[in-house]
């Protein structure tokens, strides 16, 4: 059986190798990362194939693959690590280079060691490790070790990952207050900005808590009328029609307050409150009464209590989970919150809450129908503001610095127009269920007069309103050539081909570009006067005279220079600022030893052809989008079993051409979205 699995893997590799030209940039990027010799190129290619392998590995295969990976690890990898790695990288303090294989041998699949394995893989391929003075493995041993990393994921048990309670982000908090009370979202402007996304900070400081108190006061001022004044509509809606409810003779104010608390908390906590939680809230009402507050004001104090409670500020589970329950399904209220904060960045609406209350939401058909409903709602714009804007790098455009002397037109209005172009384009792909590759390759965009001027279409499109525009210029269309995105990777006074190249590799193709080495060698060995006369391209090409720089830059620079015909704010140009003609041709290298393995460099003459080369990598673009969106939806980094989830999603989506709504629905229906792992208490830390 084992042999047949391996044979199948080889077969897949062969099939994919035919399609290898599209993977050349990845291969080259990796090789540069690994600094390997040409001789081991085929290894890298197979690694790349394994990492990006599109073949769906369904659950039935998983057990077999896991058994194979376990055996491979036990029989082959473990002796290798013991011989070549452990002598230095073992449990001791301090660990050498922060790498310790002692615990990794016990639980190789633990997320904490993924980095270790990746690093070891790269170092061993590059012949960096073991160090020269140490015992060296044979080439066969190195090859064996290289085949380990692609197998690693199969060791992971089926695991949805933890779903640690999560504080609402600033926009989520603002939107939720808006939905609850009808207050403007600007009410939260005073809160500190925060870093969202994979590395989301998710902490809460005393400063923030003080601001939550202040915002709560502000909400109360807007919705609770002072004694003797006319009550606001919101107050009546939330506190009941009568201002004196329960205060009439024979009334029971505490009982009435408890009912108000029940309905308020169900909305604000996004789940029904427990009786103990109601006791707490009634105690805050009592506090108000003791301090001689009138009935509505005492309810106001109770509402303030709700707004600084963790049940409001965090997304918390409705059902109490056994601490040793292991893996559990999200309860329907939690699922409703996860879904609505993912697609709307706000609290679930009444329909979601009702379905959750009836225990229906987790049913696949219901969940899919709700996903569609949420995407059809204008609030789904939040998916762009929260996810799309970060992914496409335009979130910081309003604050980015441009030299006002060089780019006087970069007014707030134009920046907003650029942002809206990207937003409307993103939203159109969601709305029309376009394939993911549409992001790279499209013949339409959205423009208003200001943005049209950047395109040179100022005679076609006028006025401040954005509208859909067909593009006939093949250099335009798609995110590679959108002014907002091009501007976002620019320096204040010029383009940065390197940053553009990095952006395309990381955000469009989903590759990791390593940081430059710490001691970037100086370029000043050149005659400074001569350097000053060079074009930006020629100067940047100096990178490539140094082998340390060259490895990276021969991938980054061609992409960046392919886009050089767009200036720092995205206008077409034929000459640079010194009046020199711009050469935007290039090729993506096939690597040393090309000719073997059928690797051929692909030449392009300008942005349109570069775009076409990148658009051929349909699957990479789609996989990158799936990974980034899943990470955003889960609010955490992907790891271990998630890789298999993505593999499965990719094979489900392939038939349909990776369409956007299918991707979103796939993420929402995925195992880690609907389940969570509950950490066992006091589990021994696997690392030490």
Partner 1 sequence: MRRINRRACLKGVGLNALGVTFALPWMESLGWAGVPTGKADKPPVRLGFMYMPHGVIMNEFWPTSPESFLSSPPRALESLRAVLDQCVVMKGISGVPIDPFNGAPHALELSTWLTATLPAPEKRNEINIAISADQIAANHLGAFTALPSLELATMPQTWKENQEGLNEGYYSHCSFSSPTQAVPAEVNPRNVLNRLVNKQEPTKAPGSAPLSELDRSLLDIVLGGARDLRRTLPVSDQRKLDEYLDSVRSVERRIAAIEVRQKEAALEKAGVRASKRHASDSPPIEIRIPEGEKRSEYMQVMCDLNILAFQTDMTRVSTYIGSTPNGASYPELGFNDQHHSNTHHNNDAVKVRKIAMITEFNIRQFAYMVTKMASLREGDGTLLDNCIMMWGSGLEDGNIHARENLPFVIAGKGGGSIRTGRYFADTKGNQGDLLTTLLACAGVPNDRPVGIATKQIEELKAQA
Q: Which of residues 98-117 bind partner 1 (CB under 8 A)?
A: 98-99, 112-113, 115-116
Residue 277 Cβ vs partner 1, minimum distance, rounded to whole Å? 6
Q: Which of 19, 213, 329, 533 binds partner 1 (CB under 8 A)?
A: 213
The overall longest dimension of the chain from CA atoms, in Å, is: 95
Footprint (CB under 8 A) of partner 1, residues 545-604: none
* Nearer to partner 1 (CB atom), residue 504 or residue 599: 504
Which tokens belong to 276? 């103990």
Which is it for the CA torsion 601, 604, 610, 615, positive or negative?
negative
Token pair in block for residue 173: 């908090």
Stretch that binds partner 1, among 22-30, 184-192, 250-258, 449-457 (CB under 8 A): 184-192
Q: Considering beta carbons, is residue 192 or 593 the nearer one to partner 1?
A: 192
Phi, psi (rounded to 5 degrees) for 90: -125, 180
DSSP type of residue 577: T
Q: Is 457:588 a contact under the CB 8 Å cutoff?
A: no
Whether the Cβ atoms of residue 688 and residue 91 lie closer than 8 Å to each other: yes
Span of 21-29, 72-80, 203-211, 641-649 interacting with partner 1 by CB under 8 A = 203-211
Among the listed residues 176, 346, 390, 670, the single contact to partner 1 using CB under 8 A: 390
Residues 308-327 that bind partner 1 (CB under 8 A): 308-311, 313-314, 316-317, 320-321, 323
CB of 357 to partner 1, least distance (A): 20
Q: Which stretch binds partner 1 (CB under 8 A): 591-599, 608-616, 648-656, 674-682?
A: 674-682
Residues 622 to 641: which contact partner 1 by CB under 8 A?
637
Q: Considering Cα of 257, then 261, then 263, then 267, what sign does the dihedral take?
A: positive
Which is it for the CA torsion 267, 270, 274, 276, positive or negative?
A: negative
User: Rounded to an integer, what distance in angstroms lies between the CA atom of residue 183 and that of residue 206?
Assistant: 24
Among 47-55, 194-202, 425-433, 576-584, the segment contacting partner 1 (CB under 8 A): 194-202
- Binder of partner 1 out of 524, 530, 581, 655 (CB under 8 A): 524
Nearer to partner 1, 203 or 459 (CB): 203
For the CB of residue 305, give the shortest distance to partner 1 in the complex, in Å.
5
Among 491, 593, 596, 605, binds partner 1 (CB under 8 A): 491
Q: Cβ closer to partner 1: 211 or 263?
A: 211
Would you say 262 and 275 are in contact if contact means Cβ atoms under 8 Å apart? no
Per-residue binder mask for partner 1 (CB under 8 A), 404-433, x = binder: xx----------------------------
| Site stretch for partner 1 (CB under 8 A), options 85-93, 565-573, 619-627, 680-688 | 680-688
13, 208, 263, 535: which one binds partner 1 (CB under 8 A): 208
Give the nearest distance from C-beta 290 to partner 1 in angstroms.
9
Tell me: does residue 175 bind partner 1 (CB under 8 A): no
Which residue in 61, 76, 90, 197 binds partner 1 (CB under 8 A)?
197
Q: Residue from 284, 370, 481, 665 that binds partner 1 (CB under 8 A)?
A: 284
**Binding to partner 1, residues 246-275 (CB under 8 A):** none
Rule CB under 8 A: is residue 207 a binding residue for partner 1? yes
Sign of CA dihedral 179, 180, 181, 185: negative
Cβ–Cβ under 8 Å, residues 425 and 442: yes
Per CB under 8 A, 304 contacts partner 1: yes
Question: Is the CB of residue 254 less than 8 Å from the CB of residue 286?
Answer: yes
**Of 304 and 554, which CB lies nearer to partner 1 in the complex structure?**
304
Shortest distance in whole angstroms from residue 280 CB to partner 1: 3
CA dihedral 628, 632, 635, 638 (to 10 degrees): -10
Please give the residues from 152 up to 171 whose contact with partner 1 meets the rule CB under 8 A.
Answer: 162, 164-167
- Binding to partner 1, residues 525-544 (CB under 8 A): 528
Nearest in space to 445 (alpha carbons), one of 465, 426, 464: 426
By CB under 8 A, is residue 280 in contact with partner 1? yes
Residue 12 or 687: the one with the smaller Cβ distance to partner 1 is 687
Question: Closer CB to partner 1, residue 86 or residue 112?
Answer: 112
DSSP state of 572: B
Looking at the chain, the number of H-run helices and the number of E-run strands are 33, 9
471 binds partner 1 (CB under 8 A): no
Phi, psi (rounded to 5 degrees) for 467: -145, 160
Size of the site for partner 1 (CB under 8 A): 91
Residue 602, H or E segment: strand 602-604
Give the start-end residues of each E strand in 275-413.
Answer: 314-315, 327-329
Q: Which residue, 498 or 664, is less far from partner 1 as judged by CB?
A: 498
Do the strands 675-677 and 586-588 form a parallel or antiparallel pair, or are they unpaired?
A: unpaired
Q: Which of 214, 212, 239 is nearest to 309 (CA)?
A: 212
State which residue, 3 or 683, has the beta carbon closest to partner 1: 683
Per-residue H/E/C for 611-672: HHHHHCCHHHHHHHHHHHHHHHHHCCCCCCHHHHHHHHHHHHHHCCCCEHHHHHHHHHHCHH
Nearer to partner 1, 194 or 385 (CB): 194
Residue 495 in contact with partner 1, rule: CB under 8 A: no
291 forms part of the interface with partner 1 (CB under 8 A): yes
**Does residue 515 belong to the site contacting partner 1 (CB under 8 A)?**
yes
What is the DSSP-derived secondary structure letter of residue 505?
I
Q: Tell me the three-class secondary structure of 25-52, residue by residue.
A: HHHHHHHHHHCCCHHHHHHHHHHHHHHC
Among candidates 204, 271, 331, 313, which has minimal Cα distance to 678? Answer: 331
Among 79, 131, 190, 463, binds partner 1 (CB under 8 A): 190
Per the CB < 8 A criterion, the answer to whether 253 and 246 are in contact is: yes
Q: Contact, 646 vs 672, CB < 8 A?
A: no
Task: Return the residue of 189, 252, 259, 351 that touches partner 1, per CB under 8 A.
Answer: 189
Q: How far is the CB of 422 from partner 1 (least distance, A)?
A: 17
- In whole angstroms, the minimum distance from the beta carbon of 676 to partner 1 comes to 9
Residues forming a β-bridge with 603: 587
Q: Is 92 a residue that touches partner 1 (CB under 8 A)? A: no
- Is residue 335 within 8 Å of residue 669, measured between CB atoms? no
Which range touches partner 1 (CB under 8 A), out of 25-33, 80-88, 174-182, 396-404? 396-404
Closest to partner 1 by CB, 13 vs 211, is 211
Q: How far apart are CA 579 and CA 573, in angstroms?
A: 10
Please identify, using beta-carbon distances, which residue of 167 and 623 lies nearer to partner 1. 167
- Pick the closer one to partner 1 by CB: 58 or 96: 96
Token pair for 69? 């990976």
Short-list 672, 675, 671, 664, CA closest to 344: 664
The residue assigned the tokens 């204008």 is 378
């Amino acid at each position: 059986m084992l042999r047949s699995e391996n044979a199948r893997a080889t077969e897949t590799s062969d099939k994919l190798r035919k399609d290898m030209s599209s993977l050349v940039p990845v291969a080259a990027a990796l090789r540069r990362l690994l600094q390997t010799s040409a001789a081991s190129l085929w290894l890298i290619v197979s690694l790349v194939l394994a990492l990006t392998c599109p073949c769906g590995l369904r659950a039935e295969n998983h057990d077999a693959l896991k058994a194979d990976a376990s055996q491979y690890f036990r029989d082959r990898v473990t002796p290798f690590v013991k011989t070549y790695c452990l002598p230095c990288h073992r449990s001791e303090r301090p660990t050498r280079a922060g790498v310790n294989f002692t615990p990794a041998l016990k639980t190789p699949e633990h997320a904490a060691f993924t980095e270790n394995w990746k690093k070891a893989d790269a170092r061993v391929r590059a012949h960096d490790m073991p160090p020269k003075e140490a015992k060296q493995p044979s080439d066969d041993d190195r090859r064996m070790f290289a085949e380990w990393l692609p197998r690693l994921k199969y060791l992971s048990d089926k695991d949805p990952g933890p779903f640690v309670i999560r504080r609402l982000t600033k926009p989520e908090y603002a939107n939720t207050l808006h939905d609850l009370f009808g207050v403007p979202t600007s009410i939260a402007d005073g809160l500190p900005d925060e870093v969202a996304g994979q590395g989301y900070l998710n902490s809460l400081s005393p400063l923030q808590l003080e601001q939550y108190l202040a915002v709560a006061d502000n909400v109360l001022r807007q919705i609770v009328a002072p004694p003797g004044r006319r009550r606001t509509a919101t107050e009546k809606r939330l506190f009941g029609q009568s201002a004196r409810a329960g205060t009439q003779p024979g009334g029971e104010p505490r009982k009435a307050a408890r009912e108000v608390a029940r309905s308020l908390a169900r909305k604000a906590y996004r789940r029904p409150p427990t009786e103990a939680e109601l006791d707490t809230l009634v105690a805050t009402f009592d506090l108000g009464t003791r301090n001689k507050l009138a009935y509505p004001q005492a309810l106001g104090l109770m509402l303030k209590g709700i707004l600084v409670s963790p049940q409001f500020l965090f997304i918390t589970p409705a059902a109490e989970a056994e601490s040793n329950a292991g893996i559990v399904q999200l309860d329907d209220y939690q699922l409703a919150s996860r879904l609505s904060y993912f697609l709307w960045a706000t609290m679930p609406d009444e329909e979601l809450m009702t379905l959750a209350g009836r225990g229906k939401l987790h049913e696949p058909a219901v969940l899919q129908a709700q996903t569609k409903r949420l995407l059809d709602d204008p609030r789904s714009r939040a998916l762009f503001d929260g996810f799309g804007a970060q992914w496409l790098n335009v979130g910081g455009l309003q604050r980015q610095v441009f030299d006002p002397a060089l780019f006087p037109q970069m007014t707030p209005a134009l920046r907003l127009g650029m942002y809206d172009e990207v937003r409307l384009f993103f939203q159109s792909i969601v709305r029309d269920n376009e394939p993911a590759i549409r992001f790279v390759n499209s013949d339409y965009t959205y423009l208003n007069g200001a943005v049209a001027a950047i395109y040179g279409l100022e005679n076609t499109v006028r006025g401040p309103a954005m509208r859909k525009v067909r593009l006939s210029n093949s250099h335009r269309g798609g995110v590679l050539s959108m002014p907002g995105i091009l501007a976002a990777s620019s320096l204040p006074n010029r383009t940065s081909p390197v940053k553009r190249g990095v952006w395309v590799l990381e955000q469009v193709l989903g590759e990791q570009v390593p940081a430059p080495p710490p001691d970037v060698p100086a370029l000043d060995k050149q005659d400074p006067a001569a350097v000053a006369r060079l074009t930006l391209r020629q100067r940047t090409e100096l990178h490539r005279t140094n082998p340390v720089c060259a490895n990276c830059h021969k991938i980054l620079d061609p992409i960046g220079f392919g886009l050089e015909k767009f200036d720092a704010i995205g206008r077409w140009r034929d000459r640079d600022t010194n009046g020199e003609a711009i050469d935007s041709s290039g090729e993506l290298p096939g690597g040393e030893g090309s000719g073997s393995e059928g690797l051929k460099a692909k030449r392009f003459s300008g942005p349109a052809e570069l775009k076409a080369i990148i658009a051929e990598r349909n699957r990479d673009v789609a996989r990158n989008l799936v990974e980034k969106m899943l990470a955003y939806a889960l609010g955490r980094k992907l790891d271990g079993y998630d890789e298999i989830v993505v593999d499965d999603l990719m094979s489900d989506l392939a038939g349909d051409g990776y369409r956007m709504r299918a991707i979103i629905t796939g993420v929402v229906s995925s195992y880690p979205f609907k389940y969570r792992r509950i950490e066992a208490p006091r589990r021994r830390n696997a690392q030490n």
